[in-house]
Amino acid sequence: MTNVLIIYTGGTIGMINDPKSGVLVPFNFEQITDHVPELKRLKYKFKVHSFDPLIDSSNMSPEVYKEIAQLIEKEYENYDGFVVLHGSDTMSFTASALSFMIENLTKPVIFTGSQLPVNGIRTDAKENLITALEIAAEKRKGKAMVPEVCIYFDYKLFRANRSFKYNSEKFEAFRSPNYPVLAEAGVYLRFNRNDILKPSDEPIKFHTKLDSAIGILKLYPGISPEIVKSALSANCKAIIMETFGSGNTSTQKWFLDQLRDAIKAGKLILNISQCKVGTVELGRYETSRELKEMGVVNGYDMTFEAAVTKLMYLLGNVKSNKKIAEYLETDLRGELTVY
C-alpha cells in the first residue's frame, strides 16, 4: 500500500468560510475527508501532520523551512511521497528552499494550495489537493514518477525552483517560463518524463543550515549613488542584483567602482535579470563585460525565489566565497540552465 504524508503548514486551502461572519477560519485538517469526500476513493493511505500554530505564508522563514525539512527527514522511510499544503504567496520560496535542502531526493515532495477555501462553491482546493496526492503516489516500475520538489497548481506541475507566483486573482497562479511543466492534468495525468530529474544513486542528505544574510539591489534608470551605496553597504554577506535584460547595468564609473569596492570588501554579488523570461549573459554586451571581469556572479535564468534560497543554502553550508560563486553558477537541483 502506498503511503503519503500531508504536511499542512497553513494557507487558504485549510480554511472554510464561516457562514455567520463570512470570515475565513481554519478547520481541523484531520477531518479533510468531511470536506473532500473524494479522498476516500483513493487507492492509497495518507496521514495528516498539521503545524501548530498554523503559519500564514507571509510569515514563512528559514526556521520554518528547517522544520519542514526535519519532518520529511524523520518520516522519509515511512512514506512514499509528501504533499505540503502552503499559502500560495510565498510557496515558491519555501518549495525552492526545500529543493536545495534535500540532496539526492528519490521521492516526490509536492507543494500545493488554493486561491479559494475548500468549502467555496467554485473552489480550486479540491482538485489541487487530489491531484497533488495522485502525483505524490504515482510510481513507474516501483519507483517514484517525480523524485523532486514541485509545485502543483491549476492542472500543471512545475519544478519548484523554476516557478514563481505571478497572479493573485486567477486559479492559474504560477508560471515557469524558463523550464517546461513536468506534468499536466486533463482527462489523463500526463508526465513529461524527459524533463523530470533522474533520481540519484547517492544516499539522501538533508541540509538544515541556512543563512539569510542577503541584500537586494534592484536597478532602475536614474538610481542614485546614495541608494546604491546604501544597498551595497548593508550588513549582509551577499547581494542579489536585479539587472536589465540579459544582465546589463549602468557603465557609469561611480556605479562600477561601488560594485568593485563591495566585492573587495568580501561581498558576493549575484546578477539575475529583472526579466521573467531569458537568461543573464555576462559579457555579451559592453554594459555587462566589466561586471564579469570584476567578479560579479552569473545567475543565468534563475528565478528571484531560487536565487534567494540557493544563496541561503550555500551561505549556510559553504565557507569559501570562491566555492559559493562556483556553486551559484552550477546547476545543483535543476534550477538553472548554463548555455
Average of pLDDT values for 192-214? Answer: 96
Q: How many CB atoms lie within 10 A of CB 252?
A: 10
**So which residues are the catalytic ones?**
12
Q: How many CB atoms lie within 10 A of CB 184?
A: 13
- Give counts: helices (H), strands (E), the chain: 9, 20
Ranked by mean pLDDT, the top range of 8-17, 23-32, 269-278 is 269-278
Give the model's pLDDT for residue 34: 78
Can you tell me the distance from the alpha carbon of 315 to that of 159, in angstroms, rounded to the nearest whole number?
A: 23
DSSP 197: P
Tell me phi and psi for residue 227, to 5 degrees.
-65, -45
Can you tell me the distance from the alpha carbon of 162 to that of 142, in angstroms, rounded to the nearest whole number?
A: 27
Measured CA to CA in angstroms, residue 3 lies from 33, 58, 228, 241, 251 at distances of 16, 30, 51, 43, 56
Give the model's pLDDT for residue 236: 97
Measured CA to CA in angstroms, residue 246 lies from 95, 215, 242, 273, 282 at distances of 26, 21, 10, 6, 7
Give the model's pLDDT for residue 200: 87
Q: How many CB atoms lie within 10 A of CB 87?
A: 23
Give the model's pLDDT for residue 19: 75
Q: Look at 16-20, 66-70, 99-103 and tell me which has the smallest mean pLDDT.
A: 16-20
Tell me the pLDDT tens digit for each residue of 73-94: 999 999 999 999 999 999 999 9
Tell me the pLDDT tens digit for each residue of 238-276: 999 999 999 999 999 999 999 999 999 999 999 999 999
Residue 338, all three cell numbers: 548554463
Are the beta carbons of 336 and 300 closer than 8 angstroms?
yes
Tell me the pLDDT tens digit for each residue of 296-322: 999 999 999 999 999 999 999 999 999
Can you tell me the distance from the alpha carbon of 8 to that of 13, in angstroms, rounded to the nearest whole number?
A: 9
Secondary structure (3-state) at 79: coil
Average of pLDDT values for 196-219? Answer: 96
Can you tell me the distance from the alpha carbon of 256 to that of 282, in angstroms, rounded to the nearest whole number?
A: 14
Report the half-sphere exposure of 189 (CA within 13 A, side-chain side): 17
Give the model's pLDDT for residue 131: 96
Give the model's pLDDT for residue 339: 75
**What percentage of residues in the chain have a pLDDT greater than 90?**
82
Give the model's pLDDT for residue 16: 78
- Of the pLDDT bands very low, low, confident and very high (cuts 50, 70, 90), residue 49 is very high
Are the beta carbons of 294 and 263 closer than 8 angstroms?
yes
Are the beta carbons of 183 and 156 closer than 8 angstroms?
yes
Mean pLDDT across the chain = 94
Tell me the pLDDT tens digit for each residue of 118-139: 877 898 999 999 999 999 999 9
- Of the pLDDT bands very low, low, confident and very high (cuts 50, 70, 90), residue 27 is confident
- Cell 544582465 sits at which residue? 247
Q: Does residue 221 carry a pLDDT above 90?
A: yes
Q: Does residue 31 carry a pLDDT above 80?
A: no
Are the beta carbons of 258 and 229 closer than 8 angstroms?
yes
Can you tell me the distance from the alpha carbon of 85 to that of 74, in angstroms, rounded to the nearest whole number?
A: 18
- Which strand (E) or helix (H) includes residue 289? helix 286-294
**What percentage of residues in the chain have a pLDDT greater than 70?**
100
Can you tell me the distance from the alpha carbon of 109 to that of 128, in angstroms, rounded to the nearest whole number?
A: 14
Q: Does residue 25 carry a pLDDT above 80?
A: no
